[in-house]
Amino acid sequence: MKKKFLSVFLIIFSLAFSQNQKPKLVIGIVVDQMRTEFLFRYSSLFSDNGFKRLLNDGFFYSNLHYNYVPTFTAPGHASIYTGTTPVNHGIVANEWFYRGLKRDVYCTEDFSVVSLGNPDKNKEGQMSPKNLQSSTITDELKLATNFKSKVYGISMKDRGAILPAGHFANRAYWISDNGNFISSNFYGNEFPSWVTSFNESKRYMKYIQEGWKLFKDISYYKDCLPDDNPYESTGLKIHKKAVFPYLLTEDFAQTGPKVIKSTPFTNNLIVEFAEELIENEKLGNGDVTDFLTLSFSATDIITHLTGPRSIETLDTYLRLDDLLGKFLTFLDKKVGKGNYLLFLTADHSGSENPKHLKDHGYDISSLNAKEMENKLRAYSIEKYGKDLILSYSNQNIYIDDALISPSKKFNEIVKDFANFIESFPEVKRAYTEDEILNISAVDEHGSMIFRGYDKKQNGQIYVLLKPGYIEYKPQGATHGSSYTYDTHVPLIFYGWKTPHGTSSEKHYITEIAPTIAQKISITFPNSTNSQILSEVIKY
């Protein structure tokens, strides 16, 4: 009898063990423009079910950084999932002037595809991952399972959905200005009926009708700047000032559903859509691991408008905390607690508002990129008798070598422009192409510029601003630099075979993808640096 019982026990144990060798589902969450310090600053305000649950039961890397510039959304998402930087994966910004093509390029543009899902404008859906030069961890999962794994990406932004999901995704979905979740026929011509039904339900309307009121009692926001302050703006046309409550029906009457994109409620739509997708596409329900990527963009939109110390930004994070708690509960029930592996990070961090800092004694300011470009063009005409500037884009200066006479030495002209721009009081240094390509490893900022530089796409000069200066409007805040306020982001691993713990050692965003590859025993993305986060592998 004992032998029979032991045999049954061993069989059950063996089956359970074999079924748990890989997670049923991997979920990658990117919170757009999330600063690591939010987890500390807002800690006492969060519930026990969202961010705190991840921190209390997961593994937290508190000193994770981006190791390149520019720290923007598209290269951030690409770097997280490829395990490499723009010098390899080719996504050098969100939108940039492409030197070889001599025109502006958008990171996920693809004019060979057509939109699906009834977007507001067809061009909203003419997107694909074709500009991404490296493979992603999601691609490698597809290859490892002979394309049996299901991979989906969801975001408000096309780039936040497409780049993480990779080249082989079943589909990526993003939100049109008309409120619909849309895609392109890059992923196939058939559009799921459940998505059409979801779009027809117009779920955004309940949020527009309710408006944006404070999520918690006003006492929760006591450490924020006043609701009415000079450092913030609003993305709404009718609601002129960034103050609560936001009556969204008035703007909806003027601009239609896209009003939802200036609120926290696109995050709600992302979670609702993700739960429907998991149900309808049966993610985490098969014999192989599936992968779902989610990118929450509302945090970025709100912080751009109102800055990192506004009531609006805190309210957006309190709402996201609540959403995460509900989503984790859904995953526990649908996929099973311990059956899914989740990580949460950010595509970049973000700056303070320069005017706010200046008003408190720090002598910095916001800069106008167009004014910088105009000064470069005026200098070119004065010095050389012609405008040699093709573009000034993302702190890159593009010089038109076709306009330079053979008697002139091009490198000398490039250096001349670099010297001119370095005379500006807000500029720390101007790096020429030759300097970037031959950079010393001990040059901290130069090394980051090199890792974000593609000779065929970028300009001949990169302009490094002094700390605290940003090229942005006077209100709100932005990102993009090589300084820690833009590079420092959180990383939490949670769930399947993940220990509880914290590491304050410095790590880099490019270590996430190879770590997941090691953890679920698949091939590394093809251009990753292969450095891993060993603490979450050993468990």
Q: Which residues are catalytic?
A: 73
Angle between helical axes of 73-82 and 137-144 (0-180°, round to 10): 40
Q: Taking phi first (over 0 means left), then psi (-120 to 50 degrees means alpha), and beta for anything else, what does residue 211 get? A: left
Residue 20 DSSP class: T
Asked whether residue 353 is marked as a ligand-binding residue, the answer is no
State the Cα–Cα distance between residues 291 and 431, nearest whole angstrom. 40
Element (H, E) at 392: strand 389-393
Asked whether residue 159 is marked as a ligand-binding residue, the answer is yes
Residue 101, phi then psi, degrees to nearest 5: -90, -15
**Are the CB atoms for 126 and 164 separated by under 8 Å?**
no
Token couple for 473: 């409007």
Residue 228 DSSP class: S
Residue 445, phi then psi, degrees to nearest 5: -75, -35
Residue 465 DSSP class: E
State the Cα–Cα distance between residues 301 and 251, nearest whole angstrom. 17
Element (H, E) at 106: strand 103-106
Cα–Cα nearest to 376, from 412, 411, 424: 424
Cα angle: 194, vertex 198, 336; to 5 degrees:
70
Residues 6+ apart with CB under 8 A from 225: 231, 232, 307, 309, 310, 311, 356
**Are the CB atoms for 490 and 345 separated by under 8 Å?**
yes
Task: Dihedral sign for Cα 440, 441, 443, 449, please.
Answer: positive
Cα angle: 163, vertex 75, 486; to 5 degrees:
135
Residue 129, phi then psi, degrees to nearest 5: -90, 20
**Are the CB atoms for 278 and 342 separated by under 8 Å?**
no
Asked whether residue 268 is marked as a ligand-binding residue, the answer is no
| Count of residues in the chain | 539
CA distances from 429 to 203, 463, 488 (A): 49, 6, 22
**Are the CB atoms for 25 and 283 separated by under 8 Å?**
yes
**Are the CB atoms for 53 and 325 separated by under 8 Å?**
yes
State the Cα–Cα distance between residues 386 and 474, nearest whole angstrom. 32
Single-letter amino acid code for the residue at 514: P
Asked whether residue 157 is marked as a ligand-binding residue, the answer is yes
Single-letter amino acid code for the residue at 60: F
Residues annotated in the binding site, as ranges? 94, 157-159
Residues annotated in the binding site for substrate, as ranges? 94, 157-159
